[in-house]
Structure formats: structure tokens, C-alpha cells
Amino acid sequence: MERTYLQSLFGLEGKTILITGAAGGIGTAISRGLARAGGEVVLCGRTVEKCEALAESIRAEGGKAGAFRLDVADTDSVQPCVDEVVRRYGKIDVLFNVAGVNRREGLLDVEEETYDRIMDINLKGLFFVSQRVAREMYKRRSGSIVNIGSHNDEGMLGGCSVYGAAKSGVVALTRSMAVEFAQYGIRCNAISPGHILTELTKVTWEHPARAPWLRQRIAMERPGAPEELVGMAVLLASDASSYMTGQAYHIDGGCLCGGAPWEYDTNY
């Protein structure tokens, strides 16, 4: 009985879930997790071969997955991809905007080309993918949109000015979508990962100065794993979050709350 209740509350059976940036470090973990919870995952990315390889792996586990090419920075490619997904699956129940990019350099060093690329993928692309998918969700008066924010949408780091601005915009856009789309039965929330260990961040966590600096600022004193984002992803994709919208949930090991404390008296 308990298992049946949990499945009805958190299970994703029957839901078609479109994921951008699906084959990246965080995207892969979220895609696998959503599929394991019963969702039919639609894996989208610039390199369709990577998405197809992930889809084959998911299907080998007994999950349901398909792969499509989508470059979120190319707005002309968005509508054809959405149309093809709807044609094949009939609907889109959940959208995960995972695609993102960053280049760490000082604010005074940023060139316009770098600025445009970060903004085009992280904010503009997310906007228009969400718009196109929400138009489909509108027809059914139902849907959940989940955006990937960042620690940098609230706490800033040196060398991340454009990325931080874009991710702050993602959170503001999440709230705007929540306000406008609620009347159509569409919810919108964000997951803001803290310092997650992926292939892209491995160089930081192996750095002799930056790694200790980060550990001192994280209450749990360690990086997160991409798989540790899956619980919140399943929650926001499922009916268990039916009264949750307009929020950004920081999964950060206690980084924003203050990190390791200074010395204090205690019997423990």
C-alpha cells in the first residue's frame, strides 16, 4: 500500500519529459533519474549522437528514451524540434532547461562574443524553448517547467560576471513564468545547484587553492554529485509538487547558509 501511494505521488509513469542539454554532466544524471522514476525522457542537445548514446543506455535499463537535435542558441531550431517531439509523443508534460555554458574570466576581460554566447544559451535560449513548449502545455492546461539555475544566481564568484547575470535572470524569468502560466495550469520552478563535481568542474576541485577555499564555504565540506540533484528533479516533475511554483531550490550542501563555523565551545 505504501509503495503504491509513493508511486502515485512521485511516479512519472505516463509523463513525457523534454530535457535540453541532456547529455551533459548534470543533464545525464537528471535524465537517468527521471527515466528510472518512470518518465519517458526526450533527450535534446546539440550533439544528437551523445543524446542517442544516452538514450540507448537508458533503454538498456528498461527505461523509455528518445534523442533529438536541439541547439538552444539557434532559435530557428527550437520550434521544429518541439513540433517533432509533439508529433511523435503527442504531448510534453515536463520541460527541463538544463543546457548551459560558462567561461570564467574577469569582468574587464569579457569580449562581446563571449557575453553573447553565455547569454544566448543560458537565458535567451531558455526563454524561447520555454515559450514554445509552454504553448503546447497551454493546449492541455497542464505542465511543469524546471529551469537549472546556479549558486551564482544568488552568491557570486570572481570571474563569473556574465554567467551570474544570466543565471540571476533565469530565476527572475522562473518567477515571471510562474505568475503568468499559473492560470494555464503550468508550474515553473528552478533547481540551483551548488558546487557540483563534474568533468567541467574537476579542474577546480583539484586546484590547490580553490578546492580548500570552496570546502571552507560549504557546510558539508564537499562537492555535490550530479545524482544528488535527482531527488528535487523528480519532485518537481511529479504531481507531488502540485502546489509549488515560482521558487528556486538551492541544492548546495549548505553553501549559502554559511559554510564551516568558526571555533566555538561545545561538549561535542
Residue 155 class from Cβ within 10 Å (0-12 exposed, 13-18 middle, 19+ buried)?
middle
DSSP H helical ranges for 37-77: 48-60
pLDDT digits (tens, 9 = 90+) for 25-74: 999 999 999 999 999 999 999 999 999 999 999 999 999 999 999 999 99
- pLDDT beyond 90 at 265: no
pLDDT digits (tens, 9 = 90+) for 71-122: 999 999 999 999 999 999 999 999 999 999 999 899 999 999 999 999 999 9
Is the dihedral angle over the CA atoms 228, 229, 234, 236 positive or is it negative? Answer: positive
Name the one residue in this structure whose C-alpha cell is 574570466. Answer: 105
Cβ(223)–Cβ(195) below 8 Å: yes
**Rounded to whole angstroms, what are the CA distances from 59 to 55, 81, 219?**
6, 21, 38
Residue 111's closest CA among 61, 73, 173, 161? 161
Report the distance separating Cα 167 and Cα 148, nearest Å. 8
Report the distance separating Cα 65 and Cα 97, nearest Å. 17
Note every long-range contact of 197-200, with CB atoms under 8 Å and residues 24 or more positions apart, other chains counting: 197/223, 197/224, 197/225, 197/226, 198/24, 198/25, 198/26, 198/226, 199/25, 200/25
Is 163 one of the annotated active-site residues of the chain? yes
pLDDT digits (tens, 9 = 90+) for 204-234: 899 999 999 999 999 999 999 999 999 999 9
Per annotation, catalytic residue among 89, 163, 249, 268: 163
Confidence of residue 1 (pLDDT cuts 50, 70, 90): low
Q: Which three cell numbers stand for residue 192?
A: 540551483
Q: Which pLDDT value is given to residue 220?
A: 95
Confidence of residue 259 (pLDDT cuts 50, 70, 90): confident
